[in-house]
Structure 1
Amino acid sequence: MRARDLMTRDPVTIPPTMPLPVIARTLAENGFSGAPVVDAEGRLLGMVTESDLIRRIASAADSPRSWLRDFFTPAGRQAAEFSRTHGGTAADVMTTSLVTAEEDTPIETIAKAMEERGIRRVPVVRDGRLAGIVSRADLIRALLVPAETLAADAPDERIRRLVMDAMRQQPWVDAFFVFPDVRDGVVSFHGYCRNEEVRRALRVLAEGIPGVKGVQLMVEKPPLPVIAP
């Protein structure tokens, strides 16, 4: 199985000039913990994550730097750190040393990179431009769904992507804990769900997707309060 079989196409992206408060709201409203930064031509520039935003806030409590540390730290590195801890846009705080993949990259390679680097998502690039993104949730889904079902041109996969896109637009969806699957046009939701209102809304959401023949809610109440990472 390759990156193209799992990746989310046309993911939510951030322009380099977006202010930090807008980035924070965008991530919160979409249930994401990070998003790629691209220019007007779609070229991948970096990634902004919750960690980058938290680092920016926490920098106000940093202790004064010692002159000895500054003496042995290259001026370029000091300048870059200052921008990341005092800047106000995506371009200022984003992480630029990214692990990326191509559409033909095996998912085993992506999984190993995520484990070794402690990251949650890997951008997929085509000729330097963002083609999609593979998240940890996508890799978990690969363990649950037969490879043939994940083919990009499969009708069930088309429906699943539409369901995922619709879920990302709803702030009430527990995006980190609800996983949709589609077989023969029937959408099945797996994972944890907070309450009956969310269960009902998930059913309504799926029933509004063209081609859906039925909906199965196979979610459970979480054993502990669900807190998105």
Structure 2
Amino acid sequence: MHAKDIMSTPAYTVHADAAVAEAVALLERRSITAAPVVDDRDVVVGLVSEVDVLRDRARAGAPSTRRVRDIMSGLPVTAWPEADVADLAGVMVRRGAHTVPVVVEEHVVGIVSRCDVLRTLLPTDDAAQREAQRRLDAYADGRQRWPVSVRDGAATIGGEFDDEAERAAVVALVRTTPGVGTVGVQPGAGGRGAPGG
């Protein structure tokens, strides 16, 4: 699994010259703990977090009139969309990063939090079901041809298959989803040339 598979998009950014109050409003409005800071070219130059804001308030003792660039953390750990999630998790632990912007040519295209990574490493049935359905819908060019459910790590696939090769591909996509232990096909599902069990 790659960063692009788990990142949140869009990544809400704040300009380095924005007032700290604007950063606070963004964090509150979007219910996020940190936001990438960008310059006039929309290139990521830092990260501003709740901790940065609290630290600034503790020093100032009153609402700050300073700019985001004055309180932001330096250039954050970044990842590219194809970064392996396991590698990304290791970097986050080693660098103490809670939030990692995903960038393409220095421009932010998404953001990965520790919670996003944890969901892939310790997936719940709901997370596994969402990921399995996302994979199947992508394989079906955006259509939901095969509804999937996951309970106690056991996935069940419904829908019809054009042939045995398609059935095998769908089962493989679900079987390799983190959090899925076993895969079954709903009785009655099948289709032309595809057995139902």
TM value normalised by structure 2: 0.59
Inter-CA distance 185–9: structure 2 relative to 1 (3 Å threshold): farther
Q: Which residue in 2 is equivalent to 1:102?
A: 80
Q: Which structure 1 segments of 5+ residues have no match?
A: 62-85, 159-182, 187-229
Bigger helix fraction: 1
Say if 2:34 and 2:50, in contact at 8 Å, map to a contact too. yes
| 1:33 maps to 2:11 | no
Alignment correspondent of 2:52: 52
Match of 1:154 in 2: 138
1:141: Cα distance to partner?
2.3
Distance apart, 1:113 and its partner CA: 1.8
**Identity across aligned pairs (percent)?**
30
**Would you say the 8 A contact 2:44–2:75 is kept in 1?**
no
Residue identity opposite 2:33 in structure 1: S
**Structure with more contact order per residue of length (Cα contacts < 8 Å, sep ≥ 6):** 1
Amino acid at match of 2:19: P
Equivalence for 1:93: 71
Runs of at least 5 residues in structure 2 that lack an aligned partner in the other structure: 150-197
TM-fit CA distance, 1:46 = 0.8
In the alignment, the residues of structure 2 paired with residue 185 and residue 17 of structure 1 have an alpha-carbon distance, to the nearest angstrom, of 47
**Deviation at residue 118 of structure 1 after TM alignment:** 2.4
User: What is the 5 A alignment of 1:1-229?
Assistant: 1-60=1-60, 88-142=66-120, 143-144=122-123, 145=128, 149=133, 151=135, 154=138, 184=147
Distance 1:90 1:150 in 2: 37
Contact 2:102–2:108, Cα closer than 8 Å, also in 1: yes
| Cα offsets for 1:47-75 (capped at 9, x unmatched) | 100111112122247xxxxxxxxxxxxxx
Distance 1:109 1:42 in 2: 27
What secondary structure, in the 3-state scheme, does the structure 2 residue paired with 1:154 have?
Answer: helix
Q: Distance in 2 between matches of 1:96 and 1:5?
A: 26
Aligned mates of 2:86, 2:106 — CA distance in 1: 22
Offset at 1:29?
A: 2.1
Residue 151 to residue 15, structure 1, CA distance change in 2 (3 Å): farther
Write the distance in 2 (CA, Å) between the matches of 1:54 and 1:91. Answer: 15
Q: Distance in 2 between matches of 1:11 and 1:29?
A: 13
Q: Is the 8 A contact 1:103 1:126 kept in 2?
A: yes
Which has more radius of gyration?
A: 2
Alignment length, in residue pairs?
138
